[in-house]
Structure 1
Amino acid sequence: MLSILGSTWGVLTSCRASLYETGWLPCRNLERPVISIGALSVGGAGKTPTTALIASLLSEAGVQPAILSRGYRRKSKAALLVSHGDDRGPIVSVDQAGDEPFWLASVLPTVPVVVAKRREEAAHVALTAAAVTPDVFLLDDGFQHLRVARNANLLIVNPEKPFWEDALIPSGRLREASTAATRANGFLIIGADTETGMELHNRFPEHPWFELTRQTPCCWSLGQEIPRAWPTSENKGATETRLKGSAFAFAGIARPERFFEDLEADGVSLKGQCTFPDHHEFRPQDVTRVVKMAQKCGADTLVTTEKDAVRLPSKGLRLPLKVWGYRLQTSSPETLVSWLKELTGLSSLPDAA
């Protein structure tokens, strides 16, 4: 039964893609070049952190990006400017923006962030309402948003389960058949995995691939400003980098087990853990429940993800709460940016001073 459902879903998504490819369904051209960042798999692929990395690299290279997002599970309906890009960060609540756009606006205060169901509406808001004028649009989770034409179509690959080894939902985690990867013109592997890169080269010899790895993780107290100076091997004193004592972890993300594994790999002494659905809207009773579970386990501290932290109520925390996060990096930023500037026609823009 699951294979039948998956096959049916694969036919439907392939037909939809063909309608756009053949022009039966129109693709909208935005008023700026477009870079799409997405994945074939459902949640937990790392799309939003990757979007943050691409935006940061472009900004450092003198290119002004604006991020266009759907704003999944936001309570607002109309197209909405989340951040002007004028270094103030979010100007609306997380409920209005959605947790991922709100996080992007928080960690990238000089990049406009707009949410809308239709990305062309988001682009219009970015061009007419943001404090800075974008040179390029980034589509967060844009691989399946086929109604918008794009200059660069970046596909994230998980080396633990690459798309050619996965199956369509509900049997596997793929939103589309693996053949949809032919729409990509570049691949981003999250994790240092040369074997996956070589397999990509064999399958798509004309398309480049880039490895993205995690920087040193760090933690900070809930309510503190998100660190701008991220710790590195040369800059370990930028912020508190390690969680001390015993902790109780909780998360409402797509793949919470990865978060718990990362904490333990970082040397955190986990006394217990608790999961919630992805994008869960935390209520005071949820916080009370988590605190009671942590106290029962004998934990000194609560720890959660950045994405969960923006959705937490500020009251009811009778234990210290730490936010644990990481940033992505690439060993070849100049090559990646140069390639993106070439695809988008922005090579003539001067590099940042």
Structure 2
Amino acid sequence: MIFLRYILFPIVPFYYLVTWLRNKLYDLEIKKSISYHIPVICVGNLSVGGTGKTPMIEYLIGLLKEDYLVATLSRGYKRKTEGFQLADNDATAKSIGDEPFQFYNKFKKEILVAVDADRNNGIKQLQLIDGKPEIILLDDAFQHRKVKAGFNILLTTYSKPYFKDIVLPTGNLREPRNGSKRANVIVVTKCPKNISDAEKNSILQQINPEANQHVFFSSISYLDHVISSNTNRSIEGLEDFTLVTGIANAAPLVHFLNEKALKFEHLNFKDHHEFSKQDILELNKKELIVTTEKDFMRLKQYESLRDKLFYLPISITINDEVKINKLIKSFLKTKL
């Protein structure tokens, strides 16, 4: 796959030109973006792959849900439905996608969860329902420029920052690096917890933010227990188990479990893997399965796995939560 990417390098300038031109047309308002009176906060990235959008959306939900009626709006990647869908008690990972289903399972009594590939239509539909939201969080919509979000949060990982990457197909960027200028906030995610001030300053210099942009650093925190559909277990008490992951980068999770000196085998699938009947038959043979929360949303439907399937929750820690929270709430005051 890596070799193929290098072979396709001659295509890179064409991809760059097409995406640059598309953005330029929006910047010049030749192509139209729609703004809304309702506050719209977008969380996204420049690159393909996992940058930590789901934990960031959950962070925002936790910050806002006590004071506002919040809705999340996602594409619903790999769902089996089409058009606008508002999550309800019949929702599954297949009907709305695994990440939106995760939001719904965790916060269903406190927020609205919707999916629509057409974000403008999704916003319009949300505003038509009874009990319409006061704030909409757009999940993975940084390149969806038909919507002009009021506040853009751009994520980039510590290990693979956008400023050291190039566009597809050889690199991982969906658009040129200068797309980062649209962000109000840039968060460098999945940082080591002991990242030094010198390293932060070095990254800041490479990002070279605009005067109106703010840069933050976040790290992942794993909880000290795993959760099933009906019980919790301490990580320290886990013995020989199977780790099942279908995410973009499982390395941080594997590193955490290795640091705990736990004994496990790792079944590593591609991101958003659709578990087949054969996969489930193989998993049925395992005595204890630990997975990510996102994968748990797809696997928990199988009754045969219910008593052996657990997920390890995560949260994020941001280096200056007071400042980022103040920026977000200041934006809301201008819209509400």
Q: Work out whether the TM-score is over 0.5.
A: yes
Letter in structure 1 aligned against 2:111: V
Q: How does 1:5-16 map to 2 (within 5 A)?
A: 5-16=11-22
1:82 aligns with 2:90: no
Please state how far the C-alpha of 1:6 moved relative to its aligned partner.
2.2
Q: Secondary structure at the match of 2:187?
A: strand
The one of 249, 255, 259 equivalent to 2:253 is: 259
Map of 1:57 onto structure 2: 63
Give the alignment of 1:6-155 within 5 angstroms.
6-60=12-66, 62-82=67-87, 91-109=90-108, 110-129=110-129, 132-155=131-154
Shift of 1:195: 4.7
Alignment partner, residue 189 of structure 1? 188
Q: Structure 1 residue 247: deviation in Å? A: 1.4
Distance apart, 1:172 and its partner CA = 2.3
Contact 2:229 2:306 in 1 (8 A): no
Contact 1:288 1:316 in 2 (8 A): no
Give the aligned CA root-mean-square deviation in angstroms. 2.5
Tell me the equivalent position of 2:179.
Answer: 180
Contact 2:76/2:100 (<8 A) preserved: yes
Could you tell me how far apart the structure 1 residues matched to 2:259 and 2:308 are?
Answer: 21
Gaps of 5+ in 2: 1-6
C-alpha deviation, 1:209, in angstroms: 1.6
Q: Establish whether residue 338 from structure 1 lines up as the match of residue 332 from structure 2.
A: no
TM-score (norm 1): 0.82
1:249 to 230, 243, 247: 243
AA at the equivalent of 1:119? R
Candidates 278, 286, 289, aligned match of 2:271: 278
- Secondary structure of the 1:337 match is helix
Q: In structure 2, which of residues 285, 299, 302 is the aligned counterpart of residue 314 of structure 1?
A: 302
Report the Cα distance in structure 2 between the residues aligned to 1:50 and 1:195, rounded to whole angstroms: 25
> Could you say what secondary structure the match of 2:326 adopts?
helix
Equivalent AA in structure 1 for residue 325 of structure 2:
V
Matched residue count: 321
Further displaced range: 272-281 or 112-121: 272-281
Distance 1:197 1:183 in 2: 21
SS in 1 for 2:295: helix
**Could you tell me which residue of structure 2 aligns to residue 156 of structure 1?**
155
CA distance in 2 between counterparts of 1:275 and 1:39 reads: 24
| Residues 1:11 and 1:68: Cα distance change in structure 2 (over 3 Å) | same
8 Å CA contact 2:76, 2:96 repeated in 1: yes
Q: Aligned to 1:327, what secondary structure does the other structure show?
A: strand
Taking only the aligned residue pairs, the percentage that are identical comes to: 27
The structural deviation recorded for 1:218 is 4.0
